A and B are shown apart, each in its own frame.
Chain A
Amino acid sequence: MANLTLGVTEVREITAALAESGYPDFTGYSLFSITRRLEIAGGNCGISESGMLISKINSDPLFTDTFVDHLMVETTELFRDPSVWKLLRDNIIPDIFKKNDHPVFWLPGCSTADDLVSLFLLLEDDKLFERSSIIVTSICEKRLKNIRAGRFDNQKFKVSNENYKKVTGKTDLSGYLDKEEGKLYWKKDMLSVADFLPQKSHLEELSAPVNCVIFRDKMIYFNLAFCNRVLDTIYNGLHTGGFLVTGAGETLVHTLYDKSFIKPDENENIFRKIG
């Protein structure tokens, strides 16, 4: 792995080059985060100098696809923050189905299948997934392809299985996984419940409103102005009474949308859109 060190000006130049090449605009990312991601992604791609990186972005789409793939932050596990998923399972999802015949769930900005599989496992009882639409979007087509392929990182199994038990009370995730050449894959029918759409920007409004947006630990990488833009899209994309699920460390308090949502449970970051 090469060692790439970037200053503020170089970060601006690289994000501008990405935007000019038709990739999403990363200028709304927090400075330390995007600097670190660019340095890691550049290093992983064998780049040690910003000029070389910009030149590759401008001339080599295949390279840039791989570079953007390395910019994405992996999710850490299935059912991260089990208490949030338990609240979804016990209260929020029943409420959604009580009020909607065919609810729509939207998972924007996905980098792995973790949140999709977590949601599927919650909807599995009574085959609720058959009465739902699940839309998975990502800025990285390579990631979407990987999510659809169902590859699961073996190293996440132990913690994911523990979380699964906490959330569902069931015992073992193994039955949902197939092993091929030493690698774990989610069973194909689990992932086929979703529609996979590429995003050209970080968050593009869907054609019709949705009932629940699962957008966990994504806004932590954005600056506040960009968070407000993203929340505007989410707010407009949600039905009144719909839900936004964020990461445990995220808040709307510092944003313009603090008064646009209420929390059904003070301890968990699930927000209901108010009219």
Chain B
Amino acid sequence: MYRAIIIGGSAGSFQVVARILSTLDKDFPVPVLLVLHRLKHVRSGFVEALSIKSSIPVKEPVDKDYIRPGFTWLAPSNYHLYVESGNRFALSTEPQVNHSRPSVDLSFFSAAKEYRRNLAGIILSGANKDGAAGLKMVGDMGGTTIVQDPSECQVPVMPLESMKLTKVHYVYNTEQIVSFFKKIRENGQNRQ
């Protein structure tokens, strides 16, 4: 059973994220965490933009919020987002990683340690290597690794860097990623 699904993305990922969120229903059994590169000093607007597309509430966690299903949790701007012991979020102002804060790598690292095989990591379109090392760790700890098909990506660097670093379980186009989520919903959380 998955305890979380983390989606990492950057340039060109918004439409894919919006498509995925539009297909989730309020009873989707797994917390969905979005770690997307975003403008550093714009605190509002992104939640609203995603909420228009999403069937479940999109929320930016504050420090020590419980990680629970029924929400899409969006990493806040200018903070790293960690999964801490006790199934709570933690934030960090540590330096940027791969020029990014939030960094996809750091979210994957922390969640992989906490959830191990019960984590799915997905890397979407993006222009730098952030997320590649983290996705490798997700796989190394027994979790499921997915990248968006680079041929479909607006900017394929993030999936390609991930594929260079680790043998990912699945290379999916957008609709296949949507199906992955649908199967989790139908199978009551069972791993794919």
Contacts and interface: CB of A to CB of B under 8 A. Distances in A.
B93 A220 contact: yes
B105 to A, nearest CB: 11
Residue of A32, A36, A74, A217 ringed by the most chain B CB atoms within 10 A: A32
B92 A220 contact: yes
Given A32-B83, A81-B43, A224-B64, A75 B90 contact: no
Interface residues of B, number: 27
B91 interface: yes
B76 A30 contact: no
Interface string B90-113: 111111000001000000011001
Contacts of A163: 41
B82 A33 contact: yes
A219 B94 contact: no
Contact of B85 (A31, A80, A162, A247): A31
Given A32-B85, A74-B95, A251 B62 contact: yes
Contacts of A219: 63
B94 A249 contact: no
Interface string A212-248: 0000010111011001000000000000000000011
Interface string B52-94: 0000000000111100000000001011001111101011111
Contact of B110 (A32, A217, A227): A32
A33 B113 CA distance: 12
Interface of B: 40-41, 43, 62-65, 76, 78-79, 82-86, 88, 90-95, 101, 109-110, 113-114
